[in-house]
Amino acid sequence: MSDGVVIVGGGQAGFQTAFSLRAEGYEGPVTLIGEEPHVPYQRPPLSKAFVLGKQNQANILLRPESYYLDRNIRFLPGERVAAIETPEHRARLDSGAAIPYDSLVLAAGARNRVLPIAGAQLDGVCYLRTLTEAIELKQRIEQAQQIVVVGGGFIGLEIAASARTLGKEVAVIEALPRLMARVVAPVVSSFFNRSHQSRGVEVLLGAKVREIRGDHGKASEVILDDDSIRRADLVVVGIGIVPNTELAQLAGLPSGNGIGVDEFLQAGDPRIYAIGDCAEYPNPFAGSRVRLESVQNAVDQAVCVAKAIAGKGGPYRAAPWFWSDQYEIRLQLAGLPAGHDFTAVRGQPEDGKFSVFYFRDGRLCAVDSVNRPADHMAARKLIGNGEAITPEQAADESVNLKSLYRIA
Amino acid sequence: MFVPKITYISFQEEVFEIDVPVGESVMEGAVRNGIDGIVAECGGSCLCATCHVYVDEKFLPLLPAVDEEQDAMLDSTACERLPNSRLSCQIKVRPELDGLIVRMPEYQK
């Protein structure tokens, strides 16, 4: 009898692997092991609809608990895998139990990068990745008046937008000279800077937090590098994540900035795959190895691995896309801009609707869209299919982008 | 309290009649009840076009107009877009929609 598939990690990637295996006709045992106590849920709403109270714990579940039973998925919540015993093909749990596998999928995710400064341990310094953290953060935002957000990336800015929408005083502190600097074009950074400031959020760029001071053990003020002080009864830190590579390292599998996998998402062992936030893979669109943190990447890699295990394998080639919602503004990214040498803008930032098209060696490699969903969908197709488009066509709103790609 | 009934019909003609409370989306009603055929990869944010349904013609006048965002997504459905194509995450259930019938496409991706 087959030992089946063990999936380490109950986030979006792990969840998707389990159910895609069934959808692909895989009939062996499937065990999904999650460290969190919850049935797998969606993370994207946590910083938005969840803290705003528009969605609750029940309606962010990816699927109801009964669905796991119906499809014969053995789900083990609140369990940690201590080691992968590769010679014996089994996963060893903290509890001591061993689960044998034919294939093992590391969908181990990541953890929050911790702010390495004095006072970061104080009560009232929060992070956001898990539902448990979101439940606490929601409560703390409700009770807070002055909130300092450390980090002007997606998570920090989404939390800032939610907190401001709830009427709180909010300051965002970003170490780099512009917002979301790693992922969007300067014109997009400026647009979001204005959008936050016009709604009353204080945005400090090129600013570093030196220390958090407390009052009776509770965070009360944030000291910046230039000695200026921001009062805060809540500090939310969103400065990135660290991939969970330790299990792979311990098992002697390749790992650096993520668990190193090949184009089939195999981690240096024909029985072991790594997917989602924890995996670093060769990306044909970037022309280099990348580690992506997104729902799209988690889902599409899970489907790719489920197919491989079900005997229908192939290389992973999905075009990346991302999104962030801040206030009523929707930011959508397609492709990867690394190494671009030219950009063209379609539409006007002043109208609140525009896209930035990035070119590398004359080929479209990425598009940032602000409130232009049609541009974004066209970009996914153009980039995914490797279609030709010139910067002039991209900037010319009379050119219908849909006419430039083959339908399906 | 009155809870509207929504009928989901799979490509294989299986029929599921589900109580979907007012305010919930047609997509959420399907996901919460574990109906295959609606994937909803993005969780209802109008971003992935994997909750595509064909709405029974007689209910079309009761639905809000397709906005720019949904229109862009409907251009990217895995199965053919028809005039009665909608994303089920964008159909919020109201009392008038009691009895709504939606058909699910053969595949969503």
- As beta bridge partners, residue A31 has A6, A74
- How far B107 CA sits from the closest chain A CA (Å)? 11
The Cα A185–Cα A152 span in angstroms is 14
**Which residue did the predictor score with more confidence, A283 or A407?**
A283
Comparing alpha-carbon positions, the chain B residue that sits nearest to A323 is B47
Question: What pLDDT score does A407 carry?
Answer: 60
CB A280 within 8 A of CB A257: yes
* Res. A258: pLDDT tops 90: yes
Strand A125-127 and strand A234-237: pairing? parallel
Mean pLDDT, residues A110-125 taken together: 97
- How far B99 CA sits from the closest chain A CA (Å)? 23
Task: Give Cα separations from A58 to A292, B1, B59 (angstroms).
Answer: 28, 20, 29
* Res. B79: pLDDT tops 60: yes
Mean pLDDT, residues B43-52 taken together: 93
The overall average pLDDT reported for chain A is 97
Mean pLDDT, residues A365-393 taken together: 96
- As beta bridge partners, residue A397 has none
* pLDDT > 70 in chain A, percent: 99
Question: What pLDDT score does B67 carry?
Answer: 94
For every residue of A70-85, DSSP letters joined together read HTTEEEETT--EEEEE
Give contacts of B66 with chain A, Cβ < 8 Å.
none
Mean pLDDT, residues B59-76 taken together: 94
* Res. A193: pLDDT tops 90: yes
Question: What pLDDT score does B109 carry?
Answer: 86
Q: What is the Cα Rg of chain B in Å?
A: 12
The Cα B8–Cα B53 span in angstroms is 9
The Cα A111–Cα A10 span in angstroms is 14
* Res. A408: pLDDT tops 60: no
Tokens 């089939």 found at: A264
Question: What pLDDT score does A1 carry?
Answer: 58
- What is the number of residues in chain B? 109
Task: Tell me if A66 and B34 make a contact (CB, 8 A cut-off).
Answer: yes
Confidence of residue A137 (pLDDT cuts 50, 70, 90): very high
Note the pLDDT tens digit of each residue in A297-337: 999 999 999 999 999 999 999 999 999 999 999 999 999 99
**What is the torsion angle, in degrees rounded to the nearest 10, for the CA atoms of residue A393, residue A397, residue A401 and residue A403?**
-90
Chain B touched by A66 (CB under 8 Å): yes
Tokens 């969606």 found at: A42
Neighbours of B67 (CB within 10 A): 11
Mean pLDDT, residues B78-87 taken together: 96
A295-309 and A12-23 are packed helices; what angle lies between their axes, rounded to 10 degrees?
40
* Residue type at position A401: L
Q: Can you say whether the dihedral through the CA atoms of A384, A389, A394, A399 is positive or negative?
A: negative
Neighbours of A197 (CB within 10 A): 12
Chain B touched by A385 (CB under 8 Å): no
Structure tokens at A204: 């400090």
Task: Tell me if B75 and A64 make a contact (CB, 8 A cut-off).
Answer: no
The Cα A42–Cα A197 span in angstroms is 29
Most B-contacting residue of A42, A370, A403 (CB-CB within 10 A), to test interface: A42
CB A224 within 8 A of CB A234: no
The Cα A347–Cα A349 span in angstroms is 7
Tokens 């982008």 found at: A401
The Cα B43–Cα A18 span in angstroms is 18
For every residue of A174-217, DSSP letters joined together read -SSSSTTTTTS-HHHHHHHHHHHHHTT-EEE-S--EEEEEEETT
Predicted TM-score of the model (pTM): 0.96
- How far B22 CA sits from the closest chain A CA (Å)? 14
Mean pLDDT, residues A262-287 taken together: 97
**E-state strands within A17-65:** 30-33
